[in-house]
């Protein structure tokens, strides 16, 4: 019988929620890493028991955790857990938490680039945390990390060590990238199941980028985006993209929740057009695609960039069955009064059971689930810490 | 043996109690103590000092014998009471946040 495992990252720890295929009764495990910020957890499609987690703290920095038993136990990759170790000989341990930006050998080891600071001056890159972890679709030991300040790192040894993929920051547009309110973060990584050399990323606030050569080189893919909050609304880079999503069977079609505007691309990001349609507001953070219907997409409209909560205090998921423009509110089981939570960019996911399950978490600590593609909703848990991220594993 | 007191989150990370004892070779300094601590508990690498620069993380302080040693040179010898194990080297997290 199928099972579902929901991985929830919160402001104060991680939680693992499990259910059978009916998705009506849930077991809650956690908090794992209590007291730490868990920005993101994601499981490998190659080995579902392999889960990577980004554990972070303003005091103690970045920790990468890995589970090889479906979230029951965790270790820092490459570092023996438990008792005091004899000082290690040979390869240094504790490398799994080390994210060091690439430097330019031809410039004598100087930083690859700088970025725009809040006051318009140029500022060096400073590593803060891992926002998003994306396991490879073909190798459980290969995993990508999107970090703040924005860059992409790769590990090919199960997270034991990480190296920056410098082609992204080496693109040359770095001086025009700038931090959004949440920092300058690389938060979205979409791998193309049909073309292992192609991937998409998105950065707040720089925009979306694509590589077609496995990460050696990247191009901005922001044509069609219009952002009134930057000097040139049609600029090549500088857009505050909040999240991007694609259906695995149709990876050339991308959907984007921008700071304002819901966008769509039918040509792998080369051009975008707006599909906000009849949404009550097109500000928001999450966007996701139905597991079996590539034209069915979901967003959670948020009132504005100044008021990060649902319009009218009504928590509504909007679904489009037409790939955008025509949207219907989904409200059954969701609070329709006095609700002032937010749904952050990585806090929505779908399962792949016959009746597609949709899941999202709120800054109020609720994780809602629908086992019928959004028609009806029920909370799995109501009182977690603020939810940063939600991922789902469909297990056979 | 040098005694080191860790803040609660790092105890959890290292699977230890409040205080650990470590063997430090040579001169007893902040650097040598933290080098030995990280060698014995590699999961703490990067959590007290920056992984690359080895600078103290901004929200942590080092207290020794009732004094704040956070801004002392990492190579300045620590007091004899620490070197002899009478007093611990305390790693303190700032009281801030929620």
Opening angle at CA A61, ends B13 and A81, nearest 5: 25
- The structure's pTM equals 0.95
> Over 70: is that where the pLDDT of A241 sits?
yes
The one-character DSSP state at B70 is T
Q: What is the pLDDT of residues A363-395, one digit of tens each?
A: 999 999 999 999 999 999 999 999 999 999 999
Closest in B46, B52, B93 to A94, CB measured: B46
Closest in A60, A94, A100 to B10, CB measured: A60
B81 in any annotated domain: yes
What is the pLDDT at residue A180?
Answer: 84
Tell me whether 0.90 is exceeded by the ipTM.
yes
Q: Which residues of chain A lie closer than 8 angstroms to B94, CB-CB? A: 59
Q: How sure is the predictor about B29, in pLDDT bands with cuts at 50, 70 and 90? A: very high
* CATH number of the domain residue B68 falls in: 3.10.20.30
Average pLDDT, whole number, for chain A? Answer: 94
Q: Residues near B80 by Cβ (< 8 Å), separated by ≥ 6? A: none
How many angstroms away from the CA of A20 is the closest CA of chain B? 32
B40 in any annotated domain: yes
How many angstroms away from the CA of A131 is the closest CA of chain B? 18
Q: Which residues of chain A lie closer than 8 angstroms to B97, CB-CB? A: 58
Nearest to A334, CA basis, from A357, A361, A307, A353: A361
How many angstroms away from the CA of A344 is the closest CA of chain B? 20
B98 in any annotated domain: no
Q: Give kind and range of the element (H or E) at residue A41.
A: strand A37-43
Q: What is the pLDDT of residues A268-301, one digit of tens each?
A: 999 999 999 999 999 999 999 999 999 999 999 9
Q: How sure is the predictor about A229, in pLDDT bands with cuts at 50, 70 and 90? A: confident
DSSP3 helix / strand / coil % (chain B, rounded to 5): 25, 25, 50
Distance of CA A207 to the CA centre of its chain: 14
Q: Which residues of chain B lie closer than 8 angstroms to A76, CB-CB? A: 43
B20 in any annotated domain: yes
Rounded mean pLDDT, A303-307: 94
Q: What is the pLDDT of residues A353-371, one digit of tens each?
A: 999 999 999 999 999 999 9
What is the pLDDT at residue B94?
Answer: 86
Q: How sure is the predictor about A1, in pLDDT bands with cuts at 50, 70 and 90? A: confident
Q: Which domains can be identified in chain A, with CATH numbers?
A: 102-389 (2.130.10.10)
Q: Which residues of chain A lie closer than 8 angstroms to B51, CB-CB? A: 61, 97-100
Q: Do B93 and A97 touch (CB under 8 A)?
A: no
Closest in A85, A88, A98 to B46, CB measured: A98
Lookup: tokens for B21 = 């004892």
Q: Which residues of chain A lie closer than 8 angstroms to B15, CB-CB? A: 81-83
Residue of A nearest to B22 (CA): A84
Q: How sure is the predictor about B98, in pLDDT bands with cuts at 50, 70 and 90? A: low
Which residue has 């994601």 as its token pair?
A42
Q: Which residues of chain A lie closer than 8 angstroms to B42, CB-CB? A: 79-80, 85, 88, 92-94
What is the pLDDT at residue A89?
Answer: 52
Q: Do B57 and A83 touch (CB under 8 A)?
A: no
Residue of A nearest to B6 (CA): A60
Which alpha helices (H) appear in chain A, and where do they start and end? Answer: none
Q: What is the pLDDT of residues B43-89, one digit of tens each?
A: 999 999 998 889 999 999 999 999 999 999 999 999 999 999 999 99
Q: What is the pLDDT of residues A76-115, one digit of tens each?
A: 998 876 556 665 555 456 789 999 999 877 767 778 899 9
Q: What is the pLDDT of residues A175-227, one digit of tens each?
A: 999 998 889 999 999 999 999 999 999 999 999 999 999 999 999 999 999 99
What is the pLDDT at residue A7?
Answer: 98
Lookup: tokens for A356 = 């597609």
Closest in B9, B42, B50 to A36, CB measured: B9
What is the pLDDT at residue A94?
Answer: 73
Residue B39, domain extent: 2-93
Q: Residues near A390 by Cβ (< 8 Å), separated by ≥ 6? A: A6, A7, A8, A9, A346, A347, A348, A349, A359, A360, A361, A367
How many angstroms away from the CA of B92 is the closest CA of chain A? 10
The one-character DSSP state at A236 is S
Q: How sure is the predictor about B95, in pLDDT bands with cuts at 50, 70 and 90? A: confident
Long-range CB contact pairs, A149-155, < 8 A, 24+: A149/A115, A149/A125, A149/A179, A149/A183, A149/A184, A149/A185, A150/A115, A150/A177, A150/A184, A150/A185, A150/A186, A150/A203, A150/A204, A150/A206, A151/A101, A151/A125, A151/A186, A152/A186, A152/A189, A152/A201, A152/A215, A153/A99, A154/A215, A155/A77
Domain count, chain B: 1
What is the pLDDT at residue A88?
Answer: 52
């Amino acid at each position: 019988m199928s099972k579902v495992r929901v991985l929830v990252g919160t402001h104060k720890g991680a939680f693992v929620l499990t259910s059978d295929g009916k998705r009506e009764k849930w077991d809650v495990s956690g908090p794992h890493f209590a007291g730490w910020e868990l920005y993101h957890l994601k499981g490998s499609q190659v080995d579902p028991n392999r889960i990577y987690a980004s554990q972070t703290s303003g005091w103690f920095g970045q920790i990468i955790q890995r589970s090889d038993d479906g979230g029951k136990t965790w270790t820092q990759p490459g570092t023996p857990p438990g008792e005091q170790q004899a000082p290690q000989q040979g390869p240094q341990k504790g490398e799994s938490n080390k994210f060091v930006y690439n430097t330019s050998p031809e410039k004598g080891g100087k930083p690859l680039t700088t970025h725009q600071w809040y006051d318009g001056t140029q500022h060096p890159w400073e590593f803060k945390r891992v926002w998003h972890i994306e396991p490879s679709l073909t190798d459980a030991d290969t995993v990508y990390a999107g970090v703040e300040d924005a860059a992409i790192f790769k590990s090919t040894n199960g997270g034991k060590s990480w190296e920056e993929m410098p082609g992204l920051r080496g693109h040359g547009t770095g001086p025009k990238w700038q931090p959004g309110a949440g920092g300058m973060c690389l938060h979205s990584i979409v791998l193309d199941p049909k073309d292992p050399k192609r991937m998409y990323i998105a950065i707040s606030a720089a925009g979306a980028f694509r590589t077609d050569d496995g990460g050696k080189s990247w191009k901005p893919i922001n044509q069609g985006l219009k952002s009134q909050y930057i000097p040139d609304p049609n600029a090549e880079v500088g857009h505050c993209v909040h999240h991007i999503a694609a259906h695995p069977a149709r990876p050339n079609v991308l959907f984007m929740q921008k700071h304002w505007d819901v966008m769509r691309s039918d040509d792998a990001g080369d051009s975008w057009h707006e599909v906000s349609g009849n949404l009550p507001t097109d500000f928001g953070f999450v966007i996701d695609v139905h597991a079996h219907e590539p034209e069915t997409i979901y967003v959670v409209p948020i009132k504005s960039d100044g008021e990060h909560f649902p319009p009218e205090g009504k928590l509504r998921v909007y679904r489009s069955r037409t790939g955008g423009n025509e949207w219907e509110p989904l409200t059954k089981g969701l609070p329709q009064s006095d609700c002032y939570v937010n749904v952050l960019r990585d806090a929505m996911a779908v399962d792949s059971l016959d009746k597609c399950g949709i899941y999202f978490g709120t800054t109020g600590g609720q994780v809602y689930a629908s086992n019928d593609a959004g028609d009806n909703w029920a909370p799995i848990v109501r009182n977690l810490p603020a939810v940063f991220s939600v991922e789902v594993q469909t297990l056979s | 043996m040098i005694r080191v007191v860790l803040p609660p989150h790092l105890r959890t990370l290292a699977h230890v109690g409040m205080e650990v004892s470590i063997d430090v070779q040579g001169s007893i300094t902040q650097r040598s103590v933290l080098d030995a601590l990280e060698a014995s508990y590699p999961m703490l690498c990067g959590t007290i000092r920056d992984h690359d620069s080895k600078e103290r993380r901004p929200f942590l302080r080092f207290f020794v014998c009732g004094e704040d040693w956070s801004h002392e040179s990492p190579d300045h010898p620590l007091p004899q009471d620490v070197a002899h194990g009478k007093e611990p080297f305390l790693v303190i997290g700032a009281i801030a946040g929620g």
